[in-house]
Structures are given as structure tokens and as C-alpha cells.
């Protein structure tokens, strides 16, 4: 039976920086409040003419190069995004495939908000283990600044832009295989975090973003409480199901939504600070891009070594959530 191995990571971080002090001039907030409630200090913002696909392409180029694979080798490309280049089509994945010169591969987007990267990881794993595909390029790319209402202090302090990508390939070696991926959802809570209109459910005729409600709306406090409870349970479940103790985890890479959520889940699992990967202060919440951007961070700092075990977890709009146990398995 073929297994799926996590071969490489790449990321792209746009150059624009939005600080808490910048936000103080835009809405009624303070650096102190944002830092205390979220742990966020800065977020990166893409240039006006920089699309989600541009960022995804750059991250994918790095991941492909590090894996030593060429465009021709890729037979599956999936992009997790809630801020696609185009409202309906083409998919951001198709645009990225074209940018990279990938011809003929299956390419599509998925919409699972902040859990997007866990979802695309599970899709890559399933296609590879079934034998249908051999080399997958999975991407999380977001230009959240395009769907953020910078007059709403409840959301605009949280979100940023960026992209991350990973190469997952088929292997016969069980030791390097992705151990498990959990994915789940509960649409009963859809209204907690949503872009209420602008789609086929919209009651508006015009496409003015403000009137059409294309911006994100969030019931932050309710979402926070469900996130902590759900993630703690989900992570406990995946560890227990695979008979792995939390001290066997080399790197806990959570979705970077809020430092307090990460801390609560980490404490519940008795994880040590050095096991927990934190990028939220620098990049804020980049939704589907946040986990691969965080993995890339520890890779570039030389902290992620071959054979080390990562525990990923994420929670987001849908509601969706998931977790994964992933050994880092570069070819060399």
C-alpha cells in the first residue's frame, strides 16, 4: 500500500506591514488591548496588485525546489483559500498551476477557512494512499486584507496575508508516512464566522462590497470558547487514537488565530513552551496559510529536522476543525 510523506515546505510573506499602532489610527483600539487579547503585534499585507495566486505561486516554488521536484512531476494541486483570486472561477489552484507550468494535473480549491491546510493535507493523503496520485502540491494562500472590514475592530485587528505550500509524495516506507489526519465540521454554527452575502444566498443586487456584505463578520467570543473546547478534545483524540503521548511531539504547530487559544490548548495537553510553534505575533491570523507559514518558519530557523514529529491543529469558519500527526520526511 502506498503511504503519503510530507517532503518539503515553503512560504511567501508579503512585504507590507500593518502594526497595532497603525490600527490605533483606523479603529477604536489599542496596542495594549490587541497584544493582551490576541498576542498579535503585526500582520503582513499584500500589495494592491498582488493576488492570492501570486503569493501561493511563490510559496509553491520554494516547496517544489526544496523537494527537488519539477512542475511535470506534480499530478495533484489543491489550494486552501477563502480569498480566491476570482469569485467563482477559475480556481486559484488553476491559476497557480498555470504560473508554475504544471500541465494536466488535477487542480482545485477548497473552502474550509482556517482549517483549510488540514483539509488539503487529508485530500493529498487520501489520493496518494488510494494510488490515484503520486505527487501532490498543497497550498494555503490568503489575501484576507481583501475581505477584511477595516472599520470593524472585532475582526480587522486579527487578519493578515501570506501563503505556504508543501509537497506530499507517495512512499513505500511506513516510517516516513503521515500518521493520521482528522477533519470535521458543524454547519449549525455557520453564522459565527462568515461573509454573510455576496454569494447565491445574497439578498443584495449590487456588488458593492460593504452593502453586499462580502467582508468577514465574526462572533469572536463565542468562536473563541468553542475553539478552545473543540481543539483540546480533537487533539486529545488524535493522540489517543494513535497511542502517542504529548511529550513525543517535537513541534506542535497550531493554527495561529490567537495566542490565548494556542496557550489554552497547549496547557491542556501539558505541552512545554519549546514544543509550541508561535508566529501569531508577527503574522496574525492568515487562515489557510497560517500552518504552512509556521512550519516554514521553524524549517528556516533550522529547528525542523528529518524524522521529527509535528502535531498540527486548526479551527475556523464553517465551523470546521482538524488535526494531523505528520513526520517531516524530506528526501535528503
The catalytic position among 20, 258, 285, 296 is 285
Tell me how many residues contact ligand COA (CB under 6 A): 20
- Tell me which long-range contacts 234-237 makes (C-beta under 8 A, separation of at least 24): 234/182, 234/184, 234/313, 234/321, 234/322, 234/323, 235/265, 235/269, 235/311, 235/313, 235/323, 236/268, 236/269, 237/182, 237/323
Q: Which residue in 256, 258, 286, 320 binds ligand COA (CB under 6 A)?
A: 258
**For the window 218-257, what string marks contact with ligand COA as x by the rule CB under 6 A?**
--xx-xx--x-----------------------------x
What's the CA gap between 332 and 329, in Å, rounded? 8
Q: Does 83 sit near ligand COA (CB under 6 A)?
A: no
Q: Which residue in 4, 102, 123, 157 binds ligand COA (CB under 6 A)?
A: 157
Q: Which residue in 193, 238, 239, 289 binds ligand COA (CB under 6 A)?
A: 193
The catalytic position among 114, 182, 251, 296 is 114
What's the CA gap between 314 and 15, in Å, rounded? 25
The residues facing 3 across adjacent strands are 171
Q: Is 214 labeled as catalytic in the residue annotation? A: no
Compute the C-alpha angle 42/235/295, nearest 5°.
40
Q: Does 42 sit near ligand COA (CB under 6 A)?
A: no
> Which DSSP string do the residues of 238-289 spell out, in sequence order?
HHHHTT--GGG-SEEEE--S-HHHHHHHHHHTT--GGGB---HHHH-B-GGG
**For the window 282-321, what string marks contact with ligand COA as x by the rule CB under 6 A?**
---x-----------------------------xx-----
Residue numbers of the site for ligand COA (CB under 6 A)? Answer: 29, 33, 37-38, 114, 153-154, 157, 193, 220-221, 223-224, 227, 257-258, 261, 285, 315-316
Amino acid at each position: 500500500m502506498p503511504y503519503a510523506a510530507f517532503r518539503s515546505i515553503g512560504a511567501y510573506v508579503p512585504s507590507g506591514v500593518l502594526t497595532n499602532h497603525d490600527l490605533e489610527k483606523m479603529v477604536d483600539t489599542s496596542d495594549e488591548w490587541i497584544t493582551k487579547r490576541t498576542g498579535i503585534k503585526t500582520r503582513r499585507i499584500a500589495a494592491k496588485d498582488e493576488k492570492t495566486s501570486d503569493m501561493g505561486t511563490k510559496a509553491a516554488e520554494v516547496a517544489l525546489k526544496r523537494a527537488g521536484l519539477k512542475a511535470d512531476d506534480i499530478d495533484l494541486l489543491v489550494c486552501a483559500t477563502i480569498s480566491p483570486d476570482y469569485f467563482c472561477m477559475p480556481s486559484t489552484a488553476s491559476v497557480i498551476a498555470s504560473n508554475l507550468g504544471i500541465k494536466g494535473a488535477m487542480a482545485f480549491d477548497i473552502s474550509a477557512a482556517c482549517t483549510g491546510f488540514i483539509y488539503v493535507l487529508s485530500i493529498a493523503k487520501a489520493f496518494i494512499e488510494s494510488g490515484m496520485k503520486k505527487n501532490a502540491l498543497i497550498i494555503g494562500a490568503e489575501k484576507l486584507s481583501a475581505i477584511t472590514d477595516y472599520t470593524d475592530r472585532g475582526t480587522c485587528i486579527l487578519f493578515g496575508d501570506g501563503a505556504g505550500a508543501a509537497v506530499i509524495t507517495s512512499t513505500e516506507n511506513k516510517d516516513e508516512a503521515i500518521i493520521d489526519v482528522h477533519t470535521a465540521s458543524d454547519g449549525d454554527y455557520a453564522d459565527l464566522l462568515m461573509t454573510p452575502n455576496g454569494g447565491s444566498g445574497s439578498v443584495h443586487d449590487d456588488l458593492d462590497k460593504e452593502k453586499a456584505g462580502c467582508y468577514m463578520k465574526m462572533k469572536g467570543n463565542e468562536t473563541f470558547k468553542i475553539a478552545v473546547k473543540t481543539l483540546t478534545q480533537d487533539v486529545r483524540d488524535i493522540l489517543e487514537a494513535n497511542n502517542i503521548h504529548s511529550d513525543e511531539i517535537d513541534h506542535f504547530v497550531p493554527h495561529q488565530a490567537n495566542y490565548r487559544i494556542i496557550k489554552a490548548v497547549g496547557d491542556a495537553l501539558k505541552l512545554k513552551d519549546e514544543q509550541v510553534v508561535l508566529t501569531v505575533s508577527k503574522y496574525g491570523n492568515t487562515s489557510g496559510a497560517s500552518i504552512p507559514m509556521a512550519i516554514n518558519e521553524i524549517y528556516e530557523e533550522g529547528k525542523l529536522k528529518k524524522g521529527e514529529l509535528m502535531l498540527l491543529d486548526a479551527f475556523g469558519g464553517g465551523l470546521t476543525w482538524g488535526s494531523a500527526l505528520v513526520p517531516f520526511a524530506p528526501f535528503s
